[in-house]
Amino acid sequence: MLLAKEEAIHLIEKLPDDYSMDEIMAELYFKQQVKQGLEDVEKGRVYSHEQVKDMVLQWRKSSGRI
């Protein structure tokens, strides 16, 4: 497994040369979020479709949208 710095450098080197600092940071953040999501799935930290539907329904009720 690559170290975080090595992963970041590898990703940055693959980006177009005209990317701004904001675009580079957005790419790095996106990669980190995907990595975190995959780790969550691997560890079973997920919700079923039905659970999410129930959460949204409860949120809508509590916000007066239903």
Q: What is the DSSP letter of 17?
A: T
Amino acid at 54: D
Q: What is d(CA 25, CA 30) in angstroms, rounded to the nearest whole number?
A: 8
Flag whether the pTM goes above 0.75. no
Say how far apart CA 52 and CA 41 lie, in whole Å: 15
Report, as ranges of residue numbers, the positions in the chain whose pLDDT lies below 50.
Answer: none
In this prediction, residue 7 carries a pLDDT of 94
Least Cα distance to 32 among 63, 7, 15, 59 occurs for 7
